[in-house]
Structure 1
């Protein structure tokens, strides 16, 4: 297993446990994402996005509605206004040793450590959209994520993530 953390900062030498702003009920931790789910972080940190994947539980009408005109099994929808930032932002993928990590959310691929973590590797990523396309993940752009979120929450899709939605534009 490999675990990663994505950042726009290129000079992080250690990661100290901290309380996450949207999980203040948790103790301080260092977050990581597994290799299988790392693609959900090929975006600038605060970029609002919705990621959903086809699964056997998806009902026929929802499969047609969300996947009817694509061969992709995973779709990421992003607000149009973020396009320039996405293609112009360099991300840094820090790799972590796995010893102190425990599984937090299997569906999302999230792991946590209560200890300070020193990265074992770092690479720059300048081409997140290209990487996604090479993984056969469809990226869609829309002026407003609210309709997608609302329809998704009313659907039978059970494998999804809504990231940084507090930064989504309210029209």
Structure 2
């Protein structure tokens, strides 16, 4: 699930969002309120349950690798994830080396959300190696030292498993 030309995506486990309003995320490192989206390069880093810790790495010449903890395997296989499409013109790149795009005003998706489907299969279909490891710590240190482009997402949840302190209670 990648954005079409001129579009950006937001991934969510909630299929009922009609309007996205800027907010300060609990995990935010900045005080400004935003609506967050990603482009084609960064979209694969969000093909996971929201709270799942993961390390994503890539280069222009080598394979893309995403690593997760074993404790999250079942949750990855059973989570239903949705992609919301947005016009890229409503967003600005975020940061010096943009990893996301943000809006400071409320935005409506271009249409209903699209169910992403099999998250493991999606990685396979896009030639992304999905590594399942006992723990992420060592791998994350190796990736950070390697010089590869990388993203460590929800690393505060590493070692906690799906039922950890940030689990979504339904």
Normalised by the size of structure 2, how large is the TM-score? 0.83
- Matching residue of 1:83: 73
**2:136 aligned to which of 119, 122, 145:** 145
Residue 125 of structure 1, CA deviation? 1.5
Mind listing any 5+ residue stretches in structure 1 that lack a counterpart? 57-71
**Partner residue of 1:19 out of 19, 24, 37:** 24
Q: How many residues align?
A: 154
Deviations 1:139-169 (CA, angstroms, capped at 9, x unpaired)? 000111111112222x232300001001000
> Runs ≥4 in structure 1, deviation > 3 angstroms?
105-109
Consecutive unaligned residues in structure 2, runs of 5 or more = 1-5, 161-170
Q: Once the 2 structures are TM-superposed, how far is the Cα of residue 106 of structure 1 from its aligned partner?
A: 7.0
1:168 equivalent in structure 2:
158
Change (3 A) 1:138 1:105: farther
- Which structure is larger by alpha-carbon Rg, 1 or 2? 1
Partner residue of 1:3?
A: 8
Which whole-Å CA distance do the structure 1 matches of 2:116 and 2:51 have between them? 16
RMSD: 1.8
TM-score in terms of structure 1 length = 0.83
Q: 1:98-117 to 2 correspondence within 5 Å?
A: 98-105=88-95, 107=97, 109-117=99-107
